[in-house]
Amino acid sequence: MPETVGRYLLFDAIARGGMASVHLGRVQGDAGFSKVVAIKRHHPHYARDPYFRDMLLDEARLTARITHPNVISVLDVVAAGGELLVVMEYVPGLSLAALSAVWGGGGPAVPVDIAVAILIDALDGLHAAHEALDEKNKPLQLVHRDVSPHNMLVGADGVTRVIDFGVAHAAERVGATYTGDIKGKLGYLAFEQLRRLELDRRVDLYGAGVTLWEALSNERLHDGVDPGDIVSRVQAGDHARPSSVSGRGSAQLDDVVLRALRADRDERFSTAAEFARALAAVCTPATRSDVAQWVRLAGEASLERQREFRAQVEAWSDPARDSDAAPARARHSARPPAPSDPALRVPAGSDETEVRPAEPAAGARPGDATLPSAHDATLPSAHDATLPSAHDATLPSAVESAEGAAPRGTEPSAPVLASVPPTSPSSVLPPPRSRRSLATSAGPAVIGAAAVVALVAVVALLVLHFRKGDSEIDAMREPQVSAPAASQAPVSPAPSAGVGLPNVDVSSQPGTSASPPVSPPSPSVDASQHRVGPKPIPYIPRPKPKPKMNCTPPYTIDADGVRIPKRECFKQ
């Protein structure tokens, strides 16, 4: 059972060192994303020590500043349970120490061209680390301090990567080194490291030189030497030539290796790139495919175990997560497949899972869908006057308009469907369905019918309103004789029944409108009682506005200069 740390699953360890172990892990991302990674964590007795936590944090921070294919990449740092974990890219492969018998790996001797190719890759990665810059674009002055065959990972792809910057030295570190501590493995330390002098990048070139000497000679450089004598031997710098020990290589290659092992740092190569160019000049390195093939042969058993372990990690699934995801998968898989028979269909917008054959209308062609849906092209439009409304009690239902005998709310029988003409899509009736599916499919049609009925009612009200207004206007326009006009007309005191009144010129009377002369009705007869229609509104003439008096000034001046007051200006 893996350990869950944030969004990572932590499995068993694949490598162990003096202070930490490397585990195989898997990141759990969104949308089912998954990736196998390597997770480095301290041993339990170091995990909660602030000093070692700072060392691990420094390693992650410094390695993240290096971007090179020959340096292992740091992806993330996770804090959990009071400890730090460094997430790195996972590369199938083995360290150089695990691939050869000279370092106890049990493998064969390293061929000369392959050893040169591996060291050139490692030197390229070290040069990138030495040239790394910080966030302010200043040199980090990074020194690995532990260059050895154990920290050169030879991948199954033939690429060598430098790993483990845990004891690296830089200009700025979170954690401080204890006074008198020596970082690195004793057999690969340069003279200035053993003497605790100031360090620079040439310390790493010495460790790379020792690794190449042992790969070419197939022996350890300080094999059988007492640890107390190593310091004096390193200071003397009197080492045998690799070709004389193993009988392989060349004199030019020996010179390059021995130059990297000088006790005086000024006599070594100045940069890792210069060291790599010198190796490529005296020996043709093996190709990347040749290195990959050698790795597969030398570490076949170990690589096979890695493949099996990785397959288990990728195939592992959380039972709890699977149980939570099962209902969601069941909901997605519960939808019925599309029917192959064209006579079978599911109503659009319906949640029914049962599929039933639709009864075709009379005269319909085979394969025609007789069940109208909300998106069916044959559905009557919202402006169809024959479309019934579900809320209008005075309009016939769809069944009553088709047959005239079936009551509202009942399902039509087969003869009713047969009597519907095939050219009337609005009269096609659906087969029996559930209340939910019927309401879902007929909802837009009912809404459209209600809108049509409401529109017709509004139009009718407007027509009635305008007709009433027209009648009132006509009544107002009919000529009426006002009371003042009638009193001024010369009328005989006792007219006879058969004698008409003289014509009156209404236009000549003040305050009356110009209209043709009319004869008023007899005084003894009320003409309004014989009128059909609404009672006419009496016409009241509007009096003419009086001329505005000019009272400024309120007097006039005659020819003699006398002021005569204006009477209209002094009326009370």
The one-digit pLDDT tens for each residue of the chain (572 residues) are: 788 988 899 999 998 887 889 999 999 888 888 999 999 998 888 888 888 888 888 888 889 999 999 999 999 999 887 788 999 999 999 999 999 989 988 888 999 999 999 999 999 999 999 999 988 999 999 999 999 999 999 999 999 999 988 787 776 554 444 444 566 788 999 999 998 899 999 999 999 999 999 999 999 999 888 888 888 889 888 899 999 999 998 999 999 999 999 999 999 999 999 999 999 999 999 999 999 999 999 999 999 999 999 999 999 887 666 555 555 555 544 454 544 444 434 444 444 444 444 444 444 444 444 444 444 444 444 444 444 444 444 434 443 443 444 444 444 444 433 344 444 444 444 555 555 555 555 667 778 888 888 888 888 888 877 776 666 655 555 554 444 444 444 444 444 444 444 444 444 444 444 445 545 554 444 544 555 556 667 777 777 666 666 777 777 888 777 778 777 777 65
Classified as helix, coil or strand, 350 is coil
Q: Which residue has tokens 């003699």?
A: 560
Distance CA 109, CA 218 (A): 6
- Residue 267, phi then psi, degrees to nearest 5: -90, -5
Residue 147's DSSP bridge partners are: none
Residue 322: the pLDDT is 56
336 token code pair: 């019925």
Distance CA 474, CA 375 (A): 51
Distance CA 92, CA 303 (A): 7
Residue 437: the pLDDT is 52
Residue 563: the pLDDT is 77
Distance CA 128, CA 142 (A): 10
Residue 25: the pLDDT is 95
Residue 37: the pLDDT is 96
Distance CA 166, CA 52 (A): 9
- Residue 177, phi then psi, degrees to nearest 5: -80, 140
pTM, full prediction: 0.57
Residue 3's DSSP bridge partners are: 10
| Cis amide linkage into residue 490, ω under 30° from 0 | no
The alpha carbon dihedral of 445, 449, 452, 454 has a sign of: negative
